[in-house]
Amino acid sequence: MLKIDNLPKKVRFNLRNKEIFPNTILSPMDGVTDAPFRRLCRVLSGDRMGLLVSEFVPTDGDAVFNPDGHKQLKFFPEERPFGIQIFGRFPDRMAYAAGKIAETFHPEFIEVNAGCPAPKVAGKGSGSGLLRDLPRLQEILHEVKKTLDAKTPEIPLTLKCRIGWDDESINVMETLKIAEGEGVEMLTVHGRTRLQGYNGLANWDWIGKVAAAAKIPVIGNGDVNSVECARERINTYGVSGVSIGRGAMHNPWIFGQIADAWEGREKHVITAQEALDVFPLYYKFKIEDGATEMNAMGRMKQLAARLCKGFCLDDKCVDRVSRPSLLGHDRDQHLGQERSDCPKTKDERGSALRLGSGTLSSTLCHPGAEGDRIQESDNVAMSVRQALLTSQSAAEMLDRVQELKEGIAREMVFEPECLVNLNGAKETELKFGDQFKGR
């Protein structure tokens, strides 16, 4: 059934002459979005991901940039259109690396990172450190663009930035002006300051201001975790598309779900069992990519830590949808507050769960008051997560996945869109304040 009424105002955008559909980007995440993770998202989304980008590639370290030393540069033809992101603080080194990468790999775009908040990057003047030195950022963009135009003029230059260094120095409008002046052809704005790190919420009002003033496509980034959220961001803030990072770890199907919605298709509901199937698939992709068993297990746990938060008991009483939503302006007043509708744990049945007996599920379906059931549901999701995170080996983890699939997963659903918080340990505990104060 087509649901054309629900389409957002924009479902595609152009990067130079290339049409990008859907208008989504898998946000680069160092240590996460390597080729196997991108493959996972591609496969689960039916190859409808908009744009893919490499993890950021350092350029400061090499006097003469050598692509051989950088595993982040590995990508596959099926990943196109694909961008390679670089970071650094020396215009000549950035330009040299960009030229070398462009000639060697012919990506669809080269992106300069002006967003990384990590002290070892930003503290040295790279990444979001460039937002404290816009003339340097301008010189970098100028030199990189000059090199690309000379060597590979078919490859556009793009920029990813934050809104500023801190609340007192928000300069994203100047960044836009500089970027457009230097021939940047797409700007992705993460709506946080550097000082904020990943705390609090992205400020989409600033993203909207940039989108309204820009002549180039502006991609909004920060806290997008569902089809609805993507739709609302595009419609409310006028961005050309959205870039999704942590939301893809909570829900690696999100790009396909967005593409389905934008194509007017019904949502494909992911069952809890289907959600658990990502682990053997991801493991296979990691091993095929040459990962050790330990490394592959580490990445499966990294994914489990987020993905398992989306599980809840399949019970009409367990109405997580009634929780405060990330959509709209009222989200700020909800987040960080204690939920009054969520009673403290009274019944710890969930925590009594054990793996190994093969009876994970049967005691969990006693009907109870709605609040109890929500709490119980959270406990079960936490237990599933713990069962996976405490595995001692990849084989044990995959056995546990199988056991969960045959047990409790039959009584659970996967609803990651109900999560309201991508940066806290618990649903209701959004971390505010400056993550990188004094660092």
Ligand X SMILES: Cc1cc2nc3c(=O)[nH]c(=O)nc-3n(C[C@H](O)[C@H](O)[C@H](O)COP(=O)(O)O)c2cc1C
Quick check: 246 binds ligand X (CB under 6 A)? yes
Q: Please state, in angstroms and rounded to a whole number, the distance separating the CA atoms of residues 323 and 377.
A: 14
Where does this chain touch ligand X (CB under 6 A) — which range of 11-19, 241-249, 314-322, 363-371?
241-249
Which of 23, 30, 416, 430 is in the footprint of ligand X by CB under 6 A?
Answer: 30
Which of 164, 197, 247, 407 is in the footprint of ligand X by CB under 6 A?
Answer: 247
| Spatial CB neighbours of 188, under 8 Å, sequence gap ≥ 6 | 25, 27, 111, 158, 159, 160, 161, 218, 219, 220, 221, 243
Contact 50, 255 (CB under 8 A): yes
Quick check: 100 binds ligand X (CB under 6 A)? no
Quick check: 221 binds ligand X (CB under 6 A)? yes
Where does this chain touch ligand X (CB under 6 A) — which range of 148-156, 243-251, 255-263, 386-394?
243-251
Applying the rule CB under 6 A, the residues between 45 and 64 that interact with ligand X are 55-56
How many residues in the shown chain lie near ligand X by CB under 6 A?
23
Q: Please state, in angstroms and rounded to a whole number, the distance separating the CA atoms of residues 14 and 336.
A: 38
Residue 161 annotated among the catalytic residues of the structure:
no
Residue 147 vs 421, nearer CB to ligand X: 421
Smallest distance, ligand X to C-beta of residue 196, A: 11
Which of 11, 15, 20, 32 is in the footprint of ligand X by CB under 6 A?
Answer: 32
Which of these, 256, 240, 181, lies nearest to 207 by C-alpha position?
A: 240
Handedness of CA 157, 289, 79, 234 (dihedral sign): negative
Which of these, 335, 333, 403, 408, lies nearest to 365 by C-alpha position?
A: 408
Q: Which of 41, 116, 161, 308 is catalytic?
A: 116
Contact 345, 375 (CB under 8 A): yes
Q: Please state, in angstroms and rounded to a whole number, the distance separating the CA atoms of residues 110 and 101.
A: 8
Q: Please state, in angstroms and rounded to a whole number, the distance separating the CA atoms of residues 126 and 121.
A: 5
Residue number, nearest CB to ligand X: 245
Quick check: 200 binds ligand X (CB under 6 A)? no
Handedness of CA 287, 413, 246, 108 (dihedral sign): positive
- In three state form, how does the secondary structure of 284-318 look? HHHHHCCCCHHHHHHHHHHHHHHHHHHEEECCCCC
Using DSSP's 3-state secondary structure scheme, residue 342 falls into coil
Which of 11, 15, 23, 27 is in the footprint of ligand X by CB under 6 A?
Answer: 27
Residue 53 vs 380, nearer CB to ligand X: 53
Where does this chain touch ligand X (CB under 6 A) — which range of 97-105, 238-246, 308-316, 338-346?
238-246
Measure CA 165 to chain center. Answer: 21
Residue 128 vs 377, nearer CB to ligand X: 128
The label of the residue with tokens 């590995």 reads: 74
Measure CA 222 to chain center. Answer: 8
Which of 31, 61, 356, 433 is in the footprint of ligand X by CB under 6 A?
Answer: 31
Which of 11, 15, 24, 28 is in the footprint of ligand X by CB under 6 A?
Answer: 28
User: Encoding tokens for residue 80?
Assistant: 């196109």
Smallest distance, ligand X to C-beta of residue 354, A: 32
Residue 42 vs 190, nearer CB to ligand X: 190
For ligand X, what does the binding mask look like between residues 148 and 187, x meaning CB under 6 A?
A: ------------x---------------------------
Quick check: 85 binds ligand X (CB under 6 A)? yes
Smallest distance, ligand X to C-beta of residue 320, A: 20
Residues lying near ligand X in the complex (CB under 6 A): 27-32, 55-56, 85, 113, 115-116, 160, 190, 221-224, 244-247, 422
Q: Which residues are catalytic?
A: 116
